[in-house]
A and B are shown apart, each in its own frame.
Chain A
Amino acid sequence: MERLRLPAKLSSLTGFREFVNRSAVAAGVGPQLLPRIELALEELLVNHVLHAYGSGEGDSEVVCFRREPDCFCLEVVDEARPFDPLAQATPDLTLAAADRPIGGLGIHLVRSLADEVSYRREAGKNVFTACFAIRPEAPPG
């Protein structure tokens, strides 16, 4: 299990992304799954920046681990007030462009791309976990 703690700011995204990429590749994640994991990371971190701390200061922590037999898991942790992103309603995807509300798609993407998502409140922390099954990848082309 590896972890990285950085300020909960958009400017930390690159550092977290490099950390998660390294962990994922080391865990056997291939080039087709990698951008999906990166996407989950970005959505969860941005969600935290926007919702968890409001305008206050704080850190985000990202934990990566492999869960046997074949899952790569990502946890995003903060110490802000309780916030369960999974409690958000799924957006209406059928509305015409002019009627679509701006935003609200991030958690929907994470739910759709990850194999498992969960939220828990633990010891004063929000812990959001997304797990991805590592499957054999067809060669590109």
Chain B
Amino acid sequence: MQIQNERSGASLVIRVSGRLDSVSTPTFEAHCQQAIAQGERSLILDFRSLDYLSSAGLRSILIVAKSVGAAGGEFALANARGMVREVFEISGFLGIFRCLDSFETPAAQD
């Protein structure tokens, strides 16, 4: 798993690549919680390069969403595809979170 931060206006875009599984999830969760602790109030998780997601990943996404919500912030999922999108669908996440289907950061549009 690799994690990269980008900015899009007031939002912090966290781009997660590779596998979000039981092994990599603690690193992902700590990264997001640190961003919230540093004052970020709008998180967009960009999953365009994420190939694999398990329930451990879902669990940490839910924890991060609750944390940012409790801090008065906003949260969105972007660009989930393939098996990752299917896992979101099966678990009902597409219905409970804001989902951006063709989200681009300003840098990515250049």
Chain A residues at the B interface, C-beta cutoff of 8 Å: 10, 13-14, 32, 35-36, 38-39, 42-43, 46, 93-98, 100, 102-103, 105-106, 108-109, 112-113
Contact = CB atoms under 8 A, between A and B. Distances in A.
Contacts of A98: 66, 69
Interface residues of B, number: 26
Nearest to A95: B96
B83 A102 contact: no
Contacts of A93: 91-92, 95
Interface stretch (B1-9, B32-40, B47-55): B47-55
Given A93-B92, A105-B91, A14 B23 contact: yes
Given A97-B96, A98-B69, A103-B55, A108 B83 contact: no
Contacts of B103: none
Nearest to A40: B54
Instruction: Tell me what chain B mostly uses at the interface: helix, strand, loop, or mixed.
Output: helix
Given A108-B90, A109-B87, A109-B91, A96 B96 contact: yes
A93 B90 CA distance: 9
A75 B97 CA distance: 34
Contacts of B58: 105
Interface centre among B51, B86, B91, by most A CB within 10 Å? B91
Contact of B55 (A14, A35, A97, A106): A106
B47 to A, nearest CB: 14
Contacts of B51: 35
Contact of A97 (B69, B83, B87, B90): B69
